[in-house]
Structure 1
């Protein structure tokens, strides 16, 4: 195997492992993703074809390795987008509860102030009457706080659950898309190494060889002449 091909393989492996490491830091489900091992296994399984025709092997890998790299990077982009969308949804859910949070905090602060106002009283009757009244008032306040908190909590849990579901669907779809694209590339690479298909080439049209076509409109509007 030529030095340039070895370098290309190492480059792709590095990119794949960096992609895997980045996704793993992002989300635990990325443990399912192991592109570096897939490429290593493929190289081991096709070593006979590589050795039988080194030139073809070099050309095949030279064409398909960039495609594998693009496939890895596209998956990383899709995967990250799933997580970013999930994070955005959670932020919006939290933002939607700001009004309820303020109401609960205001009620709690008012309840605390009622109790604190009783502390400076020196006369025992005034002191205990103050706490009795404050407690009765706070009992109703705390009941409302409990009801509002419980109701909002149930809604937030449901919204979080729906967001997690959408995230899971997105991650599964991105993985399925990657698996499909990756399989096509590996199958094409295998066919190339086997000699079943020609080595693909990327060509650019030469402007000097373009054919200019002129259309002449004849007197008869129902016919045209092209030359």
Structure 2
């Protein structure tokens, strides 16, 4: 128990009781119940999870990990998953991104956002390579509801702008610093990066599609399934 609590306080400045926590075999304490999640909201309502389409009508979802169309070729989420979430500050910022892009006739397509901690463990058990998946001994921005994988679409056609690679391409070509690309691709990446950074997100150098809200260690790791989380957010 002492080990679990020490890790928990490292990651969580707003403590919940030890009885409300679970600790993984990787030493990370996380929230796995609605009760524990509600407790954190009483202390800080900025920690609430927001279903993105509910807040931002017009978003397009292509939730790859609910399909076989991803780099592990397996659905890691229930195939019925139709919702995704971010914490309130990140969701508010993404809404500003959407509004700014809309003025240019552009929109957003979301590949992934909140990811239950148990799914990160599944990824790790399949791959076990930090170049491609998060190490569950740390917990990720996705697990905290603060990271989003996305691209830009043309609102008239719904077609994605050319970013040079697809989502979850792990070659150097996907890096922000890779410049051996067409002028169009470089400009498209620049548009996405500039608008995301303008509204407070941070870019991950190795993945043009991945952005995260800073100071993510101020938020607990979550392992709440999509169905229950969707019902809870609808009630609130």
Q: Name the TM tier (shorter chain).
A: under 0.3
Q: TM-score normalised to the size of structure 1?
A: 0.24
More helix by share: 1
Which structure has more relative contact order (CA 8 Å, sep 6+)? It is: 1
> Which protein has the larger Cα radius of gyration, Structure 1 or Structure 2?
1
